[in-house]
Amino acid sequence: MGHALATIALAVGSSAALCAAAPQQPAGGPDNGAGGSPFAPPVRLQAGEKFMGEGRLYPSPVFHDVNGDGRLDVVIGDLMGRLTVALRLPGDGPPRFGEEQPLKNADGQPLKFHNW
């Protein structure tokens, strides 16, 4: 049975990394009967050749089809109100994403939500 990809943001000090972990099929219940995690080990997500959200404060990802191609892209907001998008690339196998680009409004200006 397939499971959706779960994405989390991990923060350590002032740097953060986006990671994903896919749920595993539990053997004996939610903790797989042995007190272990029902999730596979996390994998850091990449946008192009860089890790997503690298060098940003508390990156917060969400999956959304930004360009209407039927593939879920990753939109990342951060503590400072900056929004970027990493478009999912076509192809089979594990999801791959292009480089993070600023998310822009209809006028072509980068979207930014000032938190302070």
Residue 51 has pLDDT above 50, yes or no: yes
pLDDT digits (tens, 9 = 90+) for 58-87: 999 999 999 999 999 999 999 999 999 999
Residue 8 has pLDDT above 80, yes or no: no
For residues 116 and 113, what is the distance between their CA atoms, to the nearest angstrom? Answer: 9
* Biggest CA-to-CA distance, the chain: 54
* Global model pTM greater than 0.75: no
Q: Which of 112, 49, 47 is nearest to 85 (CA)?
A: 47
Residue 100 has pLDDT above 80, yes or no: yes
Average pLDDT, the chain: 78
